Amino acid sequence: MKSNMGSADRIIRFVVAIGLIGLFATGTLTGTWGIVALVFAGVFVLTSFTRFCPLYLPFGIRTNRVRKHLN
């Protein structure tokens, strides 16, 4: 599993996850929408820590820089 997420992508996902958790914690999002928000927050946190987004694979998206090794 190769990394396909850059630093900016990871930070944005983490901030969005914190925002969604905050909305749930304050009672702004409740019920089904609150649960959906928590699931998305969990996925965003997991993908930002692993630096890998499975949805990027079919589309060939890479937001990280590919380092070139000079031989």
User: For 9-28, what is each residue's pLDDT tens digit?
Assistant: 999 999 999 999 999 999 99
Other C-beta atoms within 10 Å of 64: how many? 15
The band of 68, judged by pLDDT with boundaries at 50, 70 and 90, is low
Average pLDDT over residues 34-58: 95
Average pLDDT, the chain: 92
- The residue segments making up the domain with residue 43 are 7-56
Overall domain count for the chain: 1
Instruction: Report yes or no on 23 lying in a domain.
Output: yes
Percent of the chain with pLDDT over 70: 93
The band of 2, judged by pLDDT with boundaries at 50, 70 and 90, is confident
Alpha-carbon distances of 50 from 5, 10, 25, 55, rounded to whole Å? 9, 9, 25, 14
Tokens coding 28 = 């702004």
Tokens coding 8 = 């900016």
Strands (E), the chain: none
Instruction: Report yes or no on 26 lying in a domain.
Output: yes
Instruction: Report yes or no on 62 lying in a domain.
Output: no
Instruction: Report yes or no on 30 lying in a domain.
Output: yes
Instruction: Report yes or no on 41 lying in a domain.
Output: yes
